[in-house]
Amino acid sequence: MPRSVSATAEPDFSLLERLSHAVWVFDIDAGRVRWANREALLLWRAESLEDLRQRDMATDMSESVARRLRQYQADFERYDSRFSESWTLYPQGSPRTMLVEFSGIRVAGRMMMLCECQGQLQLDADTLMRAEGLLHTSAMISMYGEDGMPLYRNPAAREKVLDPSAGWRERLLDPQDAARLEAQLDQDGQGRLVARVLTRKGERWHELAARRCRDAVSGKSSLLFSEMDISELKEAEARAHYLANHDTLTGLPNRHYVMQAFQALLTRAAAQGLPTALLFVDLDRFKYVNDSLGHSFGDQLLVQMSERLKGLVGARAHLARLGGDEFLLLLAEDEAESAARALALAIREAVARPVRLGGMEVQVTASVGISLGRDGEQDIQTRMRHADLAMYAAKDAGRDDVMCYTPEMGERARARLSLENEIRRGLENGEFLPYYQPQVDCGSGRIVGAEALVRWQHPERGLLLPGAFISVCEESGLIRELDLRIFREAAHQLADWRARGWALTVSVNLSARQFTHPSLLPDLCEILRQTGCKADWIELEITESLLLGRDQATLQTLTALREAGFAIAIDDFGTGYSNLGYLQQYPLTTLKIDRSFISRLPEDAAIAELVITLCRLLKLSIVAEGVERQAQLDWLRGMQCEQYQGFLCSPALPVKHFEELLD
* CB of residue 247 to ligand C2E, shortest distance in Å: 37
Q: Are 583 and 560 in contact (CB under 8 A)?
A: no
* CB of residue 453 to ligand C2E, shortest distance in Å: 4
* CB nearer Mg ion, residue 421 or residue 596: 596
Give the DSSP letter of residue 253. Answer: B
Distances 535 to 480, 519, 538 between C-alpha atoms, Å: 19, 16, 5
* CB of residue 447 to ligand C2E, shortest distance in Å: 14
x/- contact string, 586-605, with ligand C2E (CB under 6 A)?
---------x----------
CA distance 344 to 662: 58
* CB nearer ligand C2E, residue 309 or residue 506: 506
Torsion, Cα of 587, 590, 592, 597 (10° steps) = 90
* CB of residue 471 to ligand C2E, shortest distance in Å: 10
* CB of residue 353 to Mg ion, shortest distance in Å: 37
Q: Are 23 and 16 in contact (CB under 8 A)?
A: yes
* CB of residue 478 to ligand C2E, shortest distance in Å: 11
**All residues at 6 or more sequence positions from 386 whose CB lies less than 8 Å from its CB, including other chains:** 278, 369, 371, 377, 405, 409, 410
Q: Are 347 and 307 in contact (CB under 8 A)?
A: no
* CB of residue 630 to Mg ion, shortest distance in Å: 21
Q: Which stretch binds ligand C2E (CB under 6 A): 48-56, 198-206, 218-226, 644-652?
A: 644-652
CA distance 97 to 316: 68
Q: Are 611 and 593 in contact (CB under 8 A)?
A: yes
Q: What is the largest CA-CA distance in the chain?
A: 140
The count of residues interacting with ligand C2E (CB under 6 A) is 25
Q: Annotate 506-522 with b (16+ C-beta within 10 A) or e (fewer).
A: bbbbbbbbbbbeeebbe
* CB of residue 422 to ligand C2E, shortest distance in Å: 17
By the rule CB under 6 A, 466 interacts with ligand C2E = yes
* CB nearer Mg ion, residue 284 or residue 541: 541
* CB nearer ligand C2E, residue 453 or residue 494: 453
CA distance 194 to 203: 13
* CB of residue 609 to ligand C2E, shortest distance in Å: 20
* CB nearer ligand C2E, residue 254 or residue 543: 543
Q: Which residues pair with 133 in a beta bridge?
A: none
Query: Among Mg ion, ligand C2E, none, what does residue 177 contact (CB within 5–8 Å per kind)?
Result: none
Query: Among ligand C2E, Mg ion, none, what does residue 652 contact (CB within 5–8 Å per kind)?
Result: ligand C2E
Q: Where are the beta strands (DSSP E) in 549-657?
A: 567-573, 590-593, 621-624, 643-644
* CB of residue 572 to ligand C2E, shortest distance in Å: 5
Q: Is 450 exposed, middle or buried (0-12, 13-18, 19+ CB in 10 A)?
A: buried
Interacting residue ranges for Mg ion, rule: CB under 5 A: 509, 541, 571-572, 625
Query: Among ligand C2E, Mg ion, none, what does residue 554 contact (CB within 5–8 Å per kind)?
Result: none
Helix (H) or strand (E) holding 332: strand 326-332
Positions in 554-573 near ligand C2E (CB under 6 A): 571-572
Query: Among Mg ion, ligand C2E, none, what does residue 439 contact (CB within 5–8 Å per kind)?
Result: none
Positions in 2-31 near ligand C2E (CB under 6 A): none
Distances 292 to 288, 520, 552, 572, 659 between C-alpha atoms, Å: 6, 18, 9, 27, 45
Q: Which stretch binds ligand C2E (CB under 6 A): 46-54, 226-234, 604-612, 621-629?
A: 621-629
Provide φ and ψ at 416, rounded to 5°: -60, -45
Q: Which stretch binds ligand C2E (CB under 6 A): 276-284, 337-345, 396-404, 624-632?
A: 624-632
- What letter represents residue 618's amino acid? L
Q: In whole angstroms, what separates CA 154 from the centre of its chain?
A: 47
* CB nearer ligand C2E, residue 25 or residue 540: 540
* CB of residue 647 to ligand C2E, shortest distance in Å: 4
Q: Are 36 and 44 in contact (CB under 8 A)?
A: yes
x/- contact string, 469-488, with ligand C2E (CB under 6 A)?
-x--------x---x--x--
* CB of residue 288 to Mg ion, shortest distance in Å: 25
3-class state of residue 343 by DSSP? helix
* CB nearer ligand C2E, residue 403 or residue 490: 490
**All residues at 6 or more sequence positions from 404 whose CB lies less than 8 Å from its CB, including other chains:** 341, 369, 370, 371, 372, 390
Query: Among ligand C2E, Mg ion, none, what does residue 531 contact (CB within 5–8 Å per kind)?
Result: none
Q: Are 13 and 25 in contact (CB under 8 A)?
A: yes
* CB of residue 651 to ligand C2E, shortest distance in Å: 6
Give the DSSP letter of residue 58. Answer: S
Q: Report the candidate in 393, 295, 282, 293 with the shortest Cα–Cα distance to residue 328.
A: 282
x/- contact string, 488-517, with ligand C2E (CB under 6 A)?
---------------------x-x------
* CB nearer Mg ion, residue 300 or residue 509: 509
* CB nearer Mg ion, residue 88 or residue 505: 505
Positions in 398-457 near ligand C2E (CB under 6 A): 437, 453-454
Query: Among Mg ion, ligand C2E, none, what does residue 86 contact (CB within 5–8 Å per kind)?
Result: none
Residues that bind ligand C2E (CB under 6 A): 437, 453-454, 465-467, 470, 479, 483, 486, 509, 511, 541, 571-572, 595, 625-628, 645-647, 651-652
